[in-house]
Amino acid sequence: LLLEYDHLSQLPPPLIRKHKYRPAPTPNLLQPSLTNISSLHLPIFKPSHINNLNLIPNTMHLLQILAVLGATMTATQAFDCTPTQLHIGTIAGCGTNKRGPNWFAWFDNQSPCSGVDLGLVNSYNDNGLCNVTAQFPGRGQVAFGGCTKRPDTMSQAGPPTSVTLQDGYVLDCRAASEREIACPSPCDRRASIAVTSNYTCTEREML
């Protein structure tokens, strides 16, 4: 027995296999299994859809055009761009024009009594009304041109022959003889002042 024990003690120890720990795979919820793929309701792509894809660039182009038109309309609403007649006359009888008439102007879409006072006719400006840039409600700045220079200090400059509106339109002016208009006096509610219309300016005809 001792010999057999000594023989067994000389044998190598038994091999012990060490197994590596491998965690169970985590199921991917975003990637369905092949067994359940038949139960999914997937969209079916048809060849006719190719034609609809061509509509995308056209639709985007149309939206860009509408955006530009909307911005243009918003910008043009700041001023009334429809050319109308401008009447230039005088106002007298009250305030600064008590001893001498003032230039007075209004558009067709205004009441003559709500026109703009442009200052003394007999001013010391060499070019008269053409030295004045007026501000009209709904029209912006209005500039006058074509006035003949006064020959001496005791004379007056000539009337304007053209008007340039802020929106770019140019009006040509001609002499006009219209009846006087009585407007409420800003100095006395019981009185009135006289407004004349001496010139009418209309849109310049394109050659």
Give the residue-averaged pLDDT of 68-97: 65
The answer to whether position 131 is within a domain reads yes
Does the pLDDT of residue 188 top 60, yes or no? Answer: yes
How far is Cα 199 from Cα 191, in angstroms, rounded to an integer?
26
How far is Cα 117 from Cα 133, in angstroms, rounded to an integer?
12
Question: Confidence class of residue 92 from pLDDT cuts 50, 70 and 90?
Answer: confident
The answer to whether position 199 is within a domain reads yes
pLDDT value at residue 50: 47
Range of the domain at 133: 86-203
**65/196: higher pLDDT:** 196
The answer to whether position 133 is within a domain reads yes
Bridge partners of 117, per DSSP, are 104
The answer to whether position 116 is within a domain reads yes
Does the pLDDT of residue 159 top 90, yes or no? Answer: yes
Does the pLDDT of residue 110 top 80, yes or no? Answer: yes
The answer to whether position 12 is within a domain reads no
Q: 97: buried, middle or exposed (CB in 10 Å: 19+, 13-18, 0-12)? A: buried
pLDDT value at residue 158: 92
Look up the pTM and report it.
0.58
Q: How many domains does the chain have?
A: 1
Does the pLDDT of residue 33 top 50, yes or no? Answer: no
The answer to whether position 42 is within a domain reads no
Tokens of 83: 């050319």
Count the residues in the chain: 207
Residue 131 CB contacts under 8 Å (≥ 6 apart), including other chains: 123, 125
Residue from 75, 78, 105 nearest 90 by CA: 105
Give the residue-averaged pLDDT of 161-180: 91
**123/79: higher pLDDT:** 123
The answer to whether position 4 is within a domain reads no
The answer to whether position 148 is within a domain reads yes
Tokens of 121: 């006719």
